[in-house]
Structure 1
């Protein structure tokens, strides 16, 4: 949502009057932005120009409001869409959207205030303009009943203006913004309608709703395509946060900005995808999130906004802070053909090589005053010149004596506590090679030109046809709504083998028990509804809400060479984890959502280190595979079953899929040795970790325990599935039925002994199911396991926290002091020590099972060796690995 600006925040939107060399003034030689005659530019006079003119958005106190890239549905009334027949200062203008929204009191529609317009796009032939527009608020309607953002079209020849989706009912299914024209005449746009995702919710016995983005502020915008008449709307991306600003590259792929926010990583970088949603790939900038400029020594966070391809193939973006007032940033071009990150070395060190500013002088993007001004938007001409159509504002400050704006001269910038003036955006033609800047529309106080486009012709992008089931894609997979995940080797990290893959794959050199990676877990994101759909208590996310909620949709064995080839459900955000034989994740969480379309086969080389800047997921830039696969055709892998003959370069998983068909995910961890040549040594023993062996309530249905399918899920709730493990009776009984010892977890780990007397819980751990007195949102056991808790002792018959005297960083004892820093003395005249509790390191960690010290207690030699079953330990491991949530279904969580 929009946030209000302080005067300090407004500083980022102000600019100097220092213009480029060769920029002529209006009223006299060398003046800046005054009126007057300008020489018309013979190169661009024949291009119509369309732009958005709007009032500066202010809060109730008159302060400027923040423009937040992470809030794309924000409604800022007071805009209008304007056309000039030529891109010159003297051309007459016409408001295309004038009197479009007229109240009809007889029909009960009374508009309040203005409308909003944004996201202009022109077809390659220059004949059509597409844009997003939201009608004014309607009097008497609640917020959720107000008009939504819609896609509109304008035909330049006929001057026809129309909404693309004619049906009011369909048009209002979600907010539609950011249109772009595909080569075949269809329109790609981003929308909260989440059409396919909503339909699939019915399969999960949930109501249809648009899931919130991972910041839980508004529904996620994801990519859709539709015909030019608004029919056949298809969802093509499945991110859990926003996919923004799609544009078409010359090669026919869709370039867009994706907000990766799983686990709170918060990165807005560039991705590409085919128009049917297949072959989603990272493109540029995942590790280049701090390439802005500022007044301090370090780069500041900046986002790649409004990408578009330049005539030379580079990508033009506005580099700006993700949140700021309507002040824009710098014009930057990205050489994504040759680079995937900005800098030559990791950690944003080395040479800035992947991108460069087109501004002749430096633009400051950290919110401080930028003497050269700032750019709100830039649009490239495709006319063989180095010209851009830009929305630009000079830098101004407020004269404290006259309270009038003044240019950001060196004198004013040196003035202490100077206050910035409002931004002043006009429309300009900016030549970044010639160093000239010519005004088209003079800026007006209180208004801004937020974006503009020209209706010139552009190269028609390559057409990427839809795949045909049965010819281009597997018909059976397509009909099943399934896809295939093919991983060459999980031991391949960024092109480097983490182990000797050939040795690990050889049964005579490595047994199954010695292989670290045993299974691949596939996890599905759980869509989070808004409060109107399900107003649940947000404590349901547990201690750390960064993972939100998760469902496990199954496992598949990892073959000895680390390869995987398995069927997975299409059209949903998925993540994967490599786990060991106990079902515990052994590498970091996968922090990017994968997506698969029906019939698609997605291949990857292997795994990726979280902080590595080696390209991963972009096929034309990633390093070669660390695993060559089978060395020859017509022979088995070394020392494996003679009947399993490989083809050269094939992985073990590919070989099995070719012979037996694609395997499916299983609900349990099941291993069978398919590879060892029994003539050379005995096969490794089979193993199973079965959910059906749980005595406590299972997180899967009975039907799924016996016959796992693509519709099955493991959904773990703490109170329903983990707490019963602590409460399960575990008594040692003699032959006569007498209880010799009660080993029930919660009976032992309690603040009361067998006689009901107060005690310090054994191991300082209370596993009671009652509501915690420390954090009343959770049970006592959850707080004791997941949070840091104070050490306790039995004192005067009561359990109390252990207190010790606090010390400073140098180890000096601390005593109570007053506001003047003087010691406070007790009744005896002695200083009063500052007492603090001593926390115990928590036994479980939301980072995962292997980050928790809990499991060592149950291993060989541990204090509780063998007291929990393998199935119980597996369930606890899964729960920790997916985030240790209190609930994993918002419709099961308590109502707020």
Structure 2
């Protein structure tokens, strides 16, 4: 064979291989059963970011929101002729120069673009950007996300937020304001051995002014969206007296943060091993057009925001299992419940076109190392079909959104912004006997206790070890808390009382003996300017319609009660050295002095926990949520409280003391009751000022 023939043969082989490759690529674009002539696909441009999953650091649901983990080189783009099979890409920020703030006169280049939203008229984009200075665990203006807005054509680039906190996940509200997630409120996570700030819902004007915190929940929140009714749906880590990894469920609130409520699966209860077979986290929520349903990513706790895609139907009765949830990607299991945390993270950032068709990102090989992931933009349907629209050869795509106008939802009237100290609002409960699980027979509720949970103000989970659960793991942190006091409950089960704004609280129903019968393991709050919060009952069925009252509830016929502060020294914040140890010294150690079990002397302060010996020795006599059910531990705490089966009523200590053992006064017995009923029987009342607390001094909470 001549050299020319050999060369020709090689050329033919190359051409054939190239043709096969191109055909494969074209097939990848056009394959599947997605019919782009459907009315859902009445657009031809898609906005998206290139946002590479980080690798090499902590792999946790929190971390993707930290700017120092942003992979440099991300941008904001428009995919043109999206369904043609030959799309082109426009870099929105290529020629954009910021007109104000610290970035005035500069381009946003070399850093990372994260989350964004398109205005209802499809003319402006609001997005989060960071310089992505890779200084792990360092918070400054170069390592955090800040929010910007820009016109779709790249003009009028404006900086809206700045500082040493992360601001991200911005979404346009119907009235022109912006809701977003921010670390501005302060506080830290309770299950970390590193710095992990808490971030919550905030709003601001479209020019970045008038920033308001609209959630005083004590733990993290994510990915708000505005639904078709103008409400804000988002993800909340509901972590008061629960296990660390359940739940992170869908919640809903008004654009001002009023009346925050769970949408679904806040109390997972799928049998003996209730923590299995349900989504760990419902994130990246988006409201489906012309529907009450939402689409979301079923993400893990210990990995990034990818997983199977689900539809949440709030019109279906929630069975605390999977009744409200339908998986629309059958080729993907729930990470961290059905499979390992980093397994089956194939999908992410769904955008609904209808109840049947969606845009999303997808990587069939996503179980590889984060640096190798290449999520492309796909159109999918609920039948398991998918078509690749675009894939960047160097980076992953993220959050595809159609570039077209969309209807403006209802504008929900807001609260009046207080000009000074916000006045107390009124909380009203119609009938505390309206419950999901019945109270013990013969129970008469006499009052409500109001507990405040304090956000964590120290960085490490076990600094300090607040309560017994903290010895189970380095990551088993619990809230400190304080008893604000109590209010009366009327004969018909109604209550009405004033509550200060800005304090995360939970309520307890207290019987005629002064013991708690039911308790919340969540928190609620009033935002400044909120005048009223209404509750039907005490953990009543969520879909049960309130009955027409024969008359106005008794508590609503009178002036709301003022909270009567609890008189016990050491109840606010709740401190074992101040509340319980003085009683032990006065009434108990004459017998329980080492010659009788338990030894209730203060003893030496433990070098690890800083606890008194008496506190450690009382643990076997205390009822704790994380020990009540088979399989329970600090990470998997059964989330539902059964009336009458917790706290003092379930403790060996109270059963002994109420017989007259120790010859306690009523006030002394009450101190033991509230300590046991608090949910965790804490040792420390605050995260700081440890030495002062050990001396039994009054210490005010560092962050309320």
On the 8 A contact 1:26/1:33 being kept in 2, the answer is no
Q: Aligned runs of 1:59-78 on 2, under 5 Å?
A: 59=56, 66=59, 68=61, 72-73=65-66, 75-78=69-72
Highest Rg: 1 or 2?
Answer: 1
Residue of structure 1 in register with 2:9 after alignment: none
- State whether residues 517 and 579 of structure 1, in contact with CA within 8 Å, keep that contact through their aligned partners in structure 2: yes
Q: Aligned pair count?
A: 623
Give the CA deviation at 1:56: 4.8
Report what 1:153 is aligned to: 149
Verify the 8 A CA contact 1:213 1:241 in the aligned structure 2: yes
| 1:874 corresponding residue in structure 2 | 670
Counterpart in the other structure of 1:569: 500
Identify the match of residue 555 of structure 2 among 632, 644, 653. 653
Among candidates 363, 386, 399, match of residue 451 of structure 1 = 399
1:328, CA displacement in angstroms? 2.3
**Residue 391 in structure 1 maps to residue 368 in structure 2:** no
1:188 alignment counterpart: 179
Give the C-alpha shift of residue 892 in structure 1.
Answer: 2.7
The 8 Å contact of residues 257 and 270 in structure 1, kept in 2 or not, is answered as: yes
Tell me what 1:715 maps to.
573
- Identify the residue that residue 377 of structure 1 maps to in structure 2: 349
Please tell me whether the aligned partners of residues 53 and 71 of structure 2 are also in contact (alpha carbons under 8 angstroms). Answer: no
* Structure-1 residue corresponding to 2:254: 274
> Which structure has more RCO (C-alpha within 8 Å, separation ≥ 6)?
2
- Hey, which bits of structure 1, 4+ residues long, moved more than 6 A? 99-102, 138-141, 368-373, 773-776
The answer to whether the 8 Å contact 1:392/1:427 transfers is yes
Residue 339 (str. 1) matches residue 316 (str. 2): yes
Cα separation, partners in 2 of 1:770 and 1:226, compared to 1, 3 Å:
same
Which sits farther off after the overlay, 232-241 or 523-532?
A: 523-532
**Preserved CA contact (<8 Å) 2:361 2:377:** yes
1:859 equivalenced with 2:658 (yes/no): yes
Whether the aligned pair in 2 keeps the contact of 1:554 and 1:666 (CA below 8 Å) is yes
Aligned to 1:66, the other structure's residue is in SS state coil
Query: Is 1:770 paired with 2:633?
Result: no
Per the alignment, residue 675 of structure 1 pairs with none
Q: 1: CA distance between counterparts of 2:647 and 2:682?
A: 11
CA distance in 2 between counterparts of 1:249 and 1:320 reads 19
1-structure distance, mates of 2:581, 2:439: 38
In the aligned structure 1, how far is the partner of 2:651 from the partner of 2:113? 51
**Could you say which residue in structure 1 is the equivalent of 2:227?**
249
Q: In structure 1, which of residues 725, 729, 745 is the aligned counterpart of residue 583 of structure 2?
A: 725
Q: CA deviation at 1:451?
A: 2.3
Q: Which moved more, 1:140-149 or 1:452-461?
A: 140-149
- Which residue of structure 2 lines up, in the alignment, with residue 134 of structure 1? 130
Change (3 A) 1:521 1:353: closer
Partner of 2:15: none
- 1:286 paired to 2:269: no
Q: Is the 8 A contact 1:521 1:556 kept in 2?
A: yes
State the alpha-carbon separation in 2 of the partners of residues 369 and 565 from structure 1.
Answer: 45
- Taking the aligned partners of 2:608 and 2:385, their CA distance within structure 1 comes to 63
Other structure's SS at 2:556 match: helix
Matching residue of 1:12? none
For residue 86 of structure 2, what is the aligned residue in structure 1? 90
Q: Are 2:440 and 1:486 aligned?
A: no
Residue 886, structure 1, aligned to residue 683, structure 2: yes
Contact 1:302 1:319 in 2 (8 A): no
Q: Secondary structure at the match of 1:539?
A: coil
Q: 1:289-328 residue pairs with structure 2 within 5 A?
A: 299-323=277-301, 328=306
CA–CA distance in structure 2, aligned partners of residues 347 and 465 of structure 1 = 32
- CA contact under 8 A between 2:34 and 2:380: conserved in structure 1? no
Aligned to 1:595: 525
Q: Which moved more, 1:371-380 or 1:238-247?
A: 371-380
Q: Secondary structure at the match of 2:398?
A: strand
Matched residue of 1:28: which SS? helix
2: CA distance between counterparts of 1:56 and 1:252?
31
Unaligned runs of 5+ in 1: 1-24, 166-170, 195-209, 292-296, 399-418, 470-474, 501-513, 616-620, 632-648, 669-689, 692-697, 701-713, 729-743, 752-760, 790-844
**Structure 2 CA distance, aligned partners of 1:240 and 1:41?**
45
Q: RMSD of the alignment, in Å?
A: 4.2
Whether contact under 8 Å (2:423, 2:500) holds in the other structure is: yes
C-alpha contact 1:750 1:767 (8 A) present in aligned 2: yes
Query: How far off its partner does 1:118 sit?
Result: 1.6
Corresponding position of 2:701:
none
Equivalent residue for 1:442?
Answer: 391
Cα deviation for residue 498 of structure 1 reads 4.7
Query: Could you say if the C-alpha distance between residues 26 and 313 of structure 1 is closer, same or farther in structure 2, counting changes exceeding 3 Å?
Result: farther
Which of 455, 463, 467 is the matching residue for 1:527? 455
CA contact (8 A) 2:298 2:306 kept: yes
Distance 1:79 1:780 in 2: 55
Q: Residue 378 of structure 2 corresponds to which residue in structure 1?
A: 428
* Contact 2:264/2:320 (<8 A) preserved: no
Distance change (3 Å), C-alpha of 1:126 and 1:853: same
Q: Are 1:176 and 2:139 counterparts?
A: no
Q: Does 1:622 align with 2:544?
A: yes
Rounded Cα–Cα distance in structure 1 between residues aligned with 2:538 and 2:146: 40
The one of 358, 361, 372 aligned to 2:328: 358
Evaluate the alpha carbon distance shift between residue 362 and residue 536 of structure 1 in structure 2; reply closer, same or farther with a 3 A threshold.
Answer: closer
C-alpha distance 372-566 of structure 1, shift in aligned 2 (>3 A): closer
Q: Which residue of 2 aligns with 1:663?
A: 561
1:723 & 1:771 partners in 2: Cα distance? 13
Q: Return closer, same or farther for 1:369/1:468 CA change in 2, 3 Å cut-off.
A: closer
Structure 1 residue 715 displacement after superposition: 2.2
Q: 1:26 to 1:335 in 2, by over 3 A?
A: farther
Q: Which residue of 1 aligns with 2:465?
A: 539
Unmatched 5+ stretches in structure 2: 1-19, 471-475, 623-643, 695-704
Check 1:86–1:662 CA distance in 2 against 1; reply closer, same or farther (3 A cut).
Answer: same
Query: For residues 116 and 716 of structure 1, do their structure 2 counterparts lie closer, same or farther at Cα, with a shift above 3 Å needed?
Result: same
CA deviation map 1:241-268 (0-9, x unaligned): 1221111112111111111111124211
SS of the aligned residue for 2:614 comes to helix
Q: How far off is 1:305 after superposition?
A: 1.5
Contact conserved, 2:29 with 2:390, CA < 8 A, in 1?
no
Aligned to 1:81: 75
Alpha-carbon spacing, 1:566–1:173, altered in 2? closer, same or farther (3 Å): farther
- Partners of 1:364 and 1:370 within 8 A in 2: no
- 2:170 and 2:179 in contact (8 A); partners too: yes
CA distance in 1: counterparts of 2:608 and 2:462, whole angstroms: 17
Name the stretch that deviates more: 257-266 or 89-98. Answer: 89-98
Q: CA deviation at 1:178?
A: 0.7
**TM-score of the two chains, using structure 2 as the length reference:** 0.78
What's the CA shift string for 1:153-188, capped at 9, x where partnerless? 1211453322223xxxxx215321111101111101
Contact 1:327 1:374 (C-alpha < 8 Å) held by counterparts: no
1:749 match: 592
2-structure distance, mates of 1:455, 1:260: 34
Indicate whether 1:579 and 2:510 are aligned: yes
Deviation at 1:369, TM superposition (A): 12
In structure 2, relative to structure 1, the CA distance for the partners of 1:432 and 1:279 (3 Å cut) is same
